Structure 1
Amino acid sequence: MKNIMIVDDATTVRMFHKGVISSINRHIEEAENGVEALEKALKAPIDLFLVDINMPKMDGYRLCQEIRQRDELRTSTVIMISTESAKLDEERAYRSGANFYMSKPVDSEQLKVLVGAILGDAV
């Protein structure tokens, strides 16, 4: 079972992403912000994070940095998904430790294929 966490302050975005990537061999956790995501991730291993940038309490950049600093999370894959589409935002995401960057609105087929390739399975 692969563990995925969708981190976004918008419920509709979390529901959309969950619908796109759900499958029988994936457990999906949700969090509204980086603080909640980090607390949950430290209790159970996460294979893949889908992270928004603009969130209250702790933004996606800071969450990604925290993930990379923690031994138990360091090897998790992080996909940043944001409305911020400037090249500087993408570069900052990678500097923060993101493995991939996608702009909203996300192409559902691209997200499905990317997640399947990362996890080594198909939806």
Structure 2
Amino acid sequence: MKRILIIDDAATVRLYHRQILEKAGYLVEEAFNGLEALEKALQAPFDLYLVDINTPKLDGFGFLRELRSQPITQTPAIMISTMAEERDRQQAAAAGANDYLVKPVRPEQLLAHVRPLLGEVST
């Protein structure tokens, strides 16, 4: 079963994404901020990361840069943010994001972006 880590400081957002992903059959873990997420990722890498930009202690950009610099198997990350400017997308890509979604994300939209990054065919 594929493991996904949701990094977001908003409990409601984590719960919303968790429910969508668990209903689709994924194992989901959560992190409140980038530092907590990095600790979890280094203990046991995930198959996918959903990363909010604005998190305390270490923001989403910093988390991805740190993650990408580690000598571990690199897996995809989707940056999910309320920030919709092109420069935000470019900064996310530069930090190591494979995809970028703007909140709020509809369940079918989230799964349409998650499945290909996990090597699954959308149904």
Q: Same fold (TM over 0.5)?
A: yes
Report if aligned partners of 1:21, 1:115 keep a CA contact under 8 Å in 2. Answer: no
Structure 2 equivalent of residue 95 of structure 1 = 94
The answer for the alignment partner of 2:45 in structure 1 is 45
Corresponding position of 1:83: 82
Counterpart CA distance in 2 for 1:69 and 1:12 is: 30
Q: CA deviation at 1:26?
A: 2.3
Return the offset for 1:107.
2.2
Distance in 1 between residues matched to 2:24 and 2:114, nearest whole Å? 14
CA distance in 2, matches of 1:76, 1:63: 13
- 1:4-45 deviations in Å (ceiling 9; x for gaps): 100000000000011111157522110000000000111112
Is 1:72–2:68 an aligned residue pair?
no
TM-superposed CA distance for 1:120, in Å, is 3.2
Q: Number of paired residues?
A: 122
Q: For residue 60 of structure 2, what is the amino acid of its counterpart?
A: G
| Match status 1:104 vs 2:103 | yes
Gaps of at least 5 residues in structure 2 are none
Q: Which runs of 5+ in 1 are unaligned?
A: none
Separation in 2, partners of 1:116, 1:31: 21
Coordinate RMSD, CA, aligned: 1.6
Instruction: Tell me, yes or no, if the aligned pair for 1:4 and 1:26 is still in contact at 8 Å.
Output: yes
The residue identity in structure 2 corresponding to 1:41 is A
Runs of 4+ with deviation above 2 angstroms: 23-26, 120-123
Give the structure-1-normalised TM-score.
0.91
Question: Which residue in the other structure is 1:118 paired with?
Answer: 117
